[in-house]
Amino acid sequence: MAEMTQQILAEELKKAGLASGDKVLLHSSFLSLGGVEGGPEKVVNAFLDVLGKEGTLLVPIFGSLGILTDVVKKHPDAVIDPCPVGTLAAIGKDAASLLADHWKAETAHGKDTPFTRLADMDGYTVLRRS
């Protein structure tokens, strides 16, 4: 089987139902994808290609969560959540509004957090199990 490419991954994401303008929390490991030609940057680019200028990609960046989170966190357009726990990075149109005032919430993952805002915006969580 040929190695996955950015284009093939983008096509598969579309087949799975993702579209331009969607908001997505990516919680997966690069290794679970089985290899993507060009490395983890191409995985992030595939998501950004599918989501387009109107979409938003979020990733958790607390602790040691892997290379995909590092790529998003270091992206020049990334917005970094200042919350000391449950911290996220986001790229896209709604990045700032999804992350706004996260640190003021009673819990890192509860009411008035990026996680509930994502749900309120009919966003998706993308997981890849190993």
Relative orientation angle of helices 67-74 and 40-51, to the nearest 10 degrees: 60
Residue 32: C-alpha distances to residues 7, 58, 76, 121, 124 (Å): 18, 18, 25, 27, 19
**C-beta of residue 72 within 8 angstroms of C-beta of residue 91:** yes
* Gyration radius of the chain's alpha carbons: 14
Dump pLDDT digits (tens) for 5-59.
999 999 999 999 999 999 999 998 888 888 899 999 999 999 999 999 999 999 9
Q: At what angle do helices 40-51 and 6-15 cross, to 10 degrees?
A: 40
Q: What is the pTM of this model?
A: 0.92
Q: Is the pLDDT of residue 1 over 50?
A: no
